[in-house]
């Protein structure tokens, strides 16, 4: 059954590929971008899919922009079948603790943790379609079992995001909403770099299979990879 899928950070990388994959599968997409003047390849998707895609301005650090979009959708009578918190930043790569710029830590949390919290705060009331899904794009870097000394702001923010997923899962129990943290694989995107082995189109495909519940998941921690395999929290 087709859904209205809202995706943050849809201008490029995995966010763009999830928008394209969702449209190919017959869903409608609200593709959220920080800058409407720089929608990346989304303009081509608009030409191909017409009214099934809407590009909307949304910066996950700007609660007013999130509230404004949620209000607009509500007034238009729109509902959502999936929310995908995809937007994230990777700062202070390989920087050791002694050199860490705390402003970068704060900025990382603002985007990677508070961003999804703001998005859920405002869009959850619209997530009323049947078999809805609430997806937080996480990372194996956030797994407590794989802790390594580096990427502090990124790794710790994804660990916190996984906790947010567990809280939402608990909160939404009984409402039939699938709530997952998903590790999309190490992908060749601007963030993942050219050495990465995973095509973000494959990740997008897997994530849509999960959203459509074509892959069974049985994760104690609501944390899986894009193929549905359980991840250790
Ligand atoms: P990219 O860096 O390629 O793209 C990031 C996207 O997030 C862009 O669309 C960017 O928009 C958007 N974004 C950044 N800051 C904000 C903001 N404040 N508000 C709204 N949008 C914002 O990342 P990937 O596609 O590689 O990553 C997608 C997700 O997958 C992330 O959650 C990431 O942590 C996760 N992940 C990625 C891995 C990888 O190997 N690439 C591995 C594991 C997890 P703009 O174009 O305006 O900058």
Would you say 1 and 131 are in contact if contact means Cβ atoms under 8 Å apart?
A: yes
Q: Does the C-beta of 13 come closer than 6 Å to ligand 1?
A: yes
Write the CATH number for 119: 3.40.50.720
User: Looking at the domain assignment, is residue 12 inside a domain?
Assistant: yes
Would you say 42 and 32 are in contact if contact means Cβ atoms under 8 Å apart?
A: no
Q: How far is CA 102 from the centre of its chain?
A: 24
Give the residue, out of 8, 9, 146, with the most ligand 1 atoms within 8 A of its beta carbon, to mutate for a pocket test.
Answer: 9
pTM: predicted TM-score of the whole model, two decimal places: 0.98
Q: What is the pLDDT of residues 174-220, one digit of tens each?
A: 999 999 999 999 999 999 999 999 999 999 999 999 999 999 898 99
Cα 41 to Cα 11: distance, rounded to the nearest angstrom:
7
Q: Helix (H, G, I), strand (E, B), or coil: what is residue 136?
A: strand
Instruction: Count other Cβ atoms within 10 Å, centred on residue 12.
Output: 18
User: Looking at the domain assignment, is residue 85 inside a domain?
Assistant: yes
Of ligand 1's listed atoms, the one at least distance from the Cα of 158 is 34
> What string of H, E and C letters represents the secondary structure of 48-73?
HHHHHEEEEECCCCCHHHHHHHHHHH
In the chain, the percentage of residues whose pLDDT exceeds 90 is 93
User: Looking at the domain assignment, is residue 57 inside a domain?
Assistant: yes
Nearest CA to ligand 1 atom 41: 192
Would you say 181 and 144 are in contact if contact means Cβ atoms under 8 Å apart?
A: no
Q: Does the C-beta of 196 come closer than 6 Å to ligand 1?
A: yes
Of ligand 1's listed atoms, the one at least distance from the Cα of 198 is 40
**ipTM (interface predicted TM):** 0.99
Nearest CA to ligand 1 atom 33: 88
Q: Helix (H, G, I), strand (E, B), or coil: what is residue 148?
A: coil
Would you say 221 and 178 are in contact if contact means Cβ atoms under 8 Å apart?
A: no
Residue 93 domain boundaries: 4-225
Q: Does the C-beta of 15 come closer than 6 Å to ligand 1?
A: yes
User: Looking at the domain assignment, is residue 233 inside a domain?
Assistant: no
User: Looking at the domain assignment, is residue 231 inside a domain?
Assistant: no
**Residue 174 Cα to ligand 1 middle (Å):** 31
Q: What is the pLDDT of residues 30-74, one digit of tens each?
A: 999 999 998 889 999 999 999 999 999 999 999 999 999 999 999
User: Looking at the domain assignment, is residue 113 inside a domain?
Assistant: yes
Cα 154 to Cα 148: distance, rounded to the nearest angstrom:
12
Q: Does the C-beta of 60 come closer than 6 Å to ligand 1?
A: yes
Q: Annotated catalytic sites, by residue?
A: 154, 158
Q: What is the pLDDT of residues 136-146, one digit of tens each?
A: 999 999 999 98
Q: Does the C-beta of 9 come closer than 6 Å to ligand 1?
A: yes
Instruction: Count other Cβ atoms within 10 Å, centred on residue 190.
Output: 9
Q: Which residues contact 42 (CB under 8 A, 6 or more apart)?
A: 10, 11, 16, 19, 31, 33, 53, 55
Domain count, the chain: 1
User: Looking at the domain assignment, is residue 212 inside a domain?
Assistant: yes
Q: How far is CA 58 from CA 61, 163, 186, in A?
A: 9, 24, 25
Sheet holding 28-33, edge to edge: 53-57, 28-33, 4-7, 82-85, 133-137, 178-183, 223-225
């Amino acid at each position: 059954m087709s859904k209205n899928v809202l995706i943050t950070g849809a201008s490029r990388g995995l966010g763009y590929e999830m928008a394209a994959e969702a449209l190919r599968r017959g869903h409608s997409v609200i593709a959220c971008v920080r800058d409407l003047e720089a929608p990346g390849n989304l303009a081509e998707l608009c030409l191909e899919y017409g009214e099934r895609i809407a590009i909307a301005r949304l910066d996950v650090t700007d609660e007013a922009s999130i509230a404004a979009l949620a209000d607009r959708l509500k007034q238009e009578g729109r509902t959502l079948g999936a929310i995908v918190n995809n937007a994230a930043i990777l700062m202070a790569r390989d920087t050791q603790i002694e050199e860490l710029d705390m402003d970068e830590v704060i900025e990382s949390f603002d985007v990677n943790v508070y961003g999804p919290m703001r998005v859920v705060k405002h869009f959850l009331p619209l997530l009323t379609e049947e078999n809805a899904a609430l997806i937080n794009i996480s990372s194996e870097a956030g797994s407590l079992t794989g802790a390594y000394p580096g990427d502090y702001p990124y790794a710790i923010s994804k660990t916190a995001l996984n906790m947010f997923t567990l809280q939402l899962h608990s909160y939404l129990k009984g409402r039939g909403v699938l709530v997952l943290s998903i590790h999309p694989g190490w992908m060749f995107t601007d963030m993942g770099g050219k050495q990465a082995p995973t095509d973000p189109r494959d990740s997008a495909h897997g994530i849509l299979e999960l959203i459509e519940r074509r892959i069974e998941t049985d994760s104690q921690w609501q944390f899986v990879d894009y193929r549905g395999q359980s991840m250790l929290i």
